Structure 1
Amino acid sequence: MDLLTLTCFSLVPCFVFLLLKPILERRNRACFVLHYECYKGKDERKLDSGTCAQIVQRNEKLGLEEYRFLLKTMISSGIGEETYGPRNILEGREDNPNLLDAYTEMDEIMFDTLDNLFAETGISPREIGILVVNVSLFPPAPSLVSRLVNRYKMREDIKSYNLSGMGCGASVISIDLVQRLFKIYKNTLALVVSTESLSPHWYSGKDRSMMLSNCLFRTGGSSVLLTNNVKLKNKAIMKLKTVVRAHVGYDEEAYACSMQMEDSEGHKGFLRTKHLEKAAARAMAKNFQVLIPRVLPVKELFRYSITSSFKRRGANGESSSRIGLNLKSGIQHFCIPPGRRANIESIGKRLGLDEHDTEPARMALHRFGNTSSSGIWYVLGYMEAKKRLRKGENALMISMGAGFESSNCVWQIMKDMNCENIWKDSIGHYPELSETPNPFEGKYDWINDDAVSF
């Protein structure tokens, strides 16, 4: 064999590697969802309208106008009779929470969803290679992620991450972290646990901008099992197509529009300012500039580029609030964060969606309330319970968090999704149940009918 032939043969593996490298890299970027579980509280933890009113009336610092404001906020929130609250608040101990209250709330949510997940999938906790827990307002030591490692006796080389302060967008942020880690650790199983701590963070003051959180947030959480092992592809229910994050914290108004703080009398709470909607719109616009070209067909992008100048301007020359694109040309399902009915409707209008598209978010809000970062998984659960999710379709998860950040991701449905979940006992009553008269209306005659603005 001459030198030239030998050299050519020696270069063959290099050429093969170069040809296969893009394929291997795509395989390494794979991120599949194998299963997810959402938390459903016990009946004794339900916050019906009467209980909510009693909790409001326990705050002796409030005057008649503050009572009116709170009850009108609950009336307009879109929340129903069957949401869940923390034990200490239902027991009347919201002014004196202790560390055990916070741990108990977290344990119930995390252990319940993970126990169910392990039982449903047959996966052992020892098989988990990556664990991410996000709880914005409760960063104890040892961390909550260490608490899970200890309870489930997970392996010693697990890659564990505990995220705090990320707000309602933390679940998608955690997904982004996992898919980046998947590029490093091959054939791995990962868990993302998302919830929020309400027990020690009940606001007992009278600042209206800080009282809103008491009305809107409810107990909830989710656990999601992911993998980058292509051998498990046939077991996956969804595949991650893209994640995009946009941060507008450089702007002072956006940074301060949603913030944990103390009021003028020293009461701790969570401030939501009038600039929140503006910050959310700005962050979402930045996000969609990157996201949309990745998920919409070229035909729709071309159509939009031709007609954009007309779509952006109304008859009076002012900018339109709608983005002008037909998102449904590339996305079939929309997991809008179930934060508040007005917010859902605002996002739906901005994205050009109809009532069918926003229905899952409105129903999730009515049944489970605003469960912070886990809320979008309750929305997905509603779609699955209604048997809407079909193989090959795309689902967009929209999330926003304090800071201010917009974090969105798109999933491709890998198989028809129709398994029973936490909606199984109530799905037959929706959407009709949410259209019945608001449970708060008619009970409090001293509440006037003026529209609430905040």
Structure 2
Amino acid sequence: MEDPSLYFPLPTIKTLLQTFYSSFLFCFLRVFPLCLALLFETLVLVHKWSFLGHLLFVSAVVLYTTLVYHFSRPAPVYLVDFACYKPPSHLQVPLHSFMEHSSRFGCFEKESVEFMGRVIKLSGQGERTSLPPALHYIPPRTGHLDSVEEAHMILFSVMEDLLAKTRVNPSEIDVLVVNCSGFCPSPSLSSMVMHRFKLRDNVKTFSLGGMGCGAGVIAVDVAQTLLKLCSGAQAVVLSTEIMSTGWYSGKERKKLMLNCLFRMGGSAALLQSGPQAARVAKYQLRHMVRTHMGASDRGYFSAMREEDSEGITGVSLERDLMQVAGEILRMNIGALGSRVLPLSEKFWYSFSLFHKRFLDPKTEIYVPNFKLVIHHFCIPPSGKALLRELGKGLRLKKVDLEPALMTLHRFGNQSSSSLWYELAYMEAKGRVKRGDRVWQLGTGSGPKCNSAIWECISPVNPLAKVGSDPAGPWFDCIDEYPIAMDDF
């Protein structure tokens, strides 16, 4: 008979105490000792006992408060390591190849092909971004089977790299979260991964769909919520976007944008809870802030998958999308700033709001300096124009935006997994030091904006092996970057 501990991790003493603490019985026991202590103190005062009685009372209250605080705290969550998918070189699509293939597909007018070419040039993408095999055919193959094969290619590969890098056995995984916005097959993507790697039958699996570029941070939030409930548990978060099913072959320009902006990619991250994880982890999750504007009609309809007049499905990006993105970014950044910024920055920001509202409406609102508490920034690489405006709004320098710009140039915008490519860039450059804080900012349709703050807790080796790739996705080109962008 097999050892059940291989499938059901044995709980620690602290986990058992935490479970007991949250039970109904302990809800009563939390109050009873305090009542007993107060009764004892009353007896001390009435009978005028010695100072020793008062000391015993104070000691009991202090000890009880300490124990309650210690066992009621959620388990800390750590990022052990992560891996990024590196597409093979034969899948790269230089601009001239993209233009030539698009003109031969037979579904695009000449004006549409020229429009897509201009968008790609202005976006900041380089000549080595990649598209999946199905989109290299003429005409492109966008069927269900092609999308499944693309999902297998990305998710299985990046999962293998993560397991090889962390030396974790698939049977040790307790939670699996997979996010992909546009492709939601049945069986689900999480079931595909579970079947391929033979995960335990009691693993908690989730497949997140339709959440856009911000789903990567949302997946981390789902995983960390579960990990906090069980110290020592491990979770894998897989993020990708399947391009085969998202390709648009119509004529509406607001739907053609996705053909230009998004490229092939994927990431995998291993999270673990409990203090024992701190010995092997790279980062600790310090803050998580999520903001949603789905109740607003303007925000809800700003990015939506729908059919055009000819019945061809695509994602429409409306003209007011930038304004909606700006509003939800301000909401999310304001909520995050209230948690992480020092009192001086909060004071000047509040004072500027008061001055603008009651004294001088023409006065500009003070922009807090997030660089006082955050050292590195992972920002959605949605194009040079958006990065330029976001940098101005957060008072960031070009070096702070460099990871996003270089990720956009080398790999394009890989939707929810892009933030991990940017973190991999910083690590490959040797910029992340112990004690540094990294801000991952993800935005997506809905609309929603999500922020995760990670603190580096161990030295990061830029030459650490990731499976068969000695240094992750930047191994063969990190010395070429950063490149000059004179028009930025």
Relative to the length of structure 1, the TM-score reads: 0.89
2:243 maps to which residue? 198
Whether 1:249 aligns to 2:300 is: no
Task: Map Cα deviations across residues 83-107 of structure 1 (whole Å, 9 max, x no partner).
Answer: 110101112242x422221111111
Mapped contact 1:110–1:193 kept (Cα < 8 A) = yes
Q: For 2:431, which of 379, 382, 388 is the aligned residue? A: 388
Aligned-partner SS, 1:352:
coil
Task: Map Cα deviations across residues 255-292 of structure 1 (whole Å, 9 max, x no partner).
Answer: 11111111111111111111111111111111122111
Distance 2:259 2:355 in 1: 43
Given residue 461 of structure 2, which amino acid in structure 1 is its aligned partner? N
Count of residues in Structure 1 that have an aligned counterpart in Structure 2: 429
Whether 1:374 aligns to 2:417 is: yes
Mapped contact 1:133–1:161 kept (Cα < 8 A) = yes
Relative to the length of structure 2, the TM-score reads: 0.83
Pairing of 1:30-429 with structure 2 (within 5 A): 30-94=76-140, 96-308=141-353, 320=364, 324-419=367-462, 420-429=471-480
Quote the offset at 1:184 in angstroms: 2.0
Quote the offset at 1:346 in angstroms: 1.5
Quote the offset at 1:31 in angstroms: 0.9
Given residue 88 of structure 1, which amino acid in structure 2 is its aligned partner? A
**Unaligned 5+ runs, structure 2:** 1-38, 42-52, 463-470
- CA-based RMSD of the aligned residues comes to 2.7
Pairing of 1:435-446 with structure 2 (within 5 A): 435=485
Aligned-partner SS, 1:422:
helix
Distance 1:328 1:310, change over 3 A: farther
Task: Map Cα deviations across residues 362-405 of structure 1 (whole Å, 9 max, x no partner).
Answer: 00000000100001111111111111111111111111111000
Quote the offset at 1:310 in angstroms: 6.4
Quote the offset at 1:152 in angstroms: 0.8
Distance 1:227 1:397 in 2: 18
Distance 2:398 2:92 in 1: 28
Distance 1:336 1:323 in 2: 21
Mapped contact 1:240–1:409 kept (Cα < 8 A) = yes
Mapped contact 1:248–1:282 kept (Cα < 8 A) = no
Distance 1:298 1:264, change over 3 A: same
Q: For 2:68, which of 21, 24, 35 is the aligned residue? A: 21
Given residue 395 of structure 1, which amino acid in structure 2 is its aligned partner? V
Distance 1:147 1:13 in 2: 54
Given residue 338 of structure 1, which amino acid in structure 2 is its aligned partner? P
Distance 2:363 2:296 in 1: 21
Distance 1:424 1:25, change over 3 A: farther
Given residue 431 of structure 1, which amino acid in structure 2 is its aligned partner? P
Aligned-partner SS, 2:473:
coil
For the pair shown, the structure with the greater C-alpha radius of gyration is: 2
Task: Map Cα deviations across residues 267-321 of structure 1 (whole Å, 9 max, x no partner).
Answer: 11111111111111111111122111211122322333344556899x9x5575x
Task: Map Cα deviations across residues 295-353 of structure 1 (whole Å, 9 max, x no partner).
Answer: 1122322333344556899x9x5575x76111111111110011111111121111111
Distance 1:92 1:123, change over 3 A: same
Identity %: 35
Runs of 4+ in 1 over 6 A off after TM superposition: 8-15, 310-313
Distance 1:304 1:14, change over 3 A: closer
Aligned-partner SS, 2:174:
strand
Task: Map Cα deviations across residues 172-191 of structure 1 (whole Å, 9 max, x no partner).
Answer: 00111111112322210000
Distance 1:210 1:4, change over 3 A: closer
Mapped contact 1:312–1:323 kept (Cα < 8 A) = no
1:451 maps to which residue? none
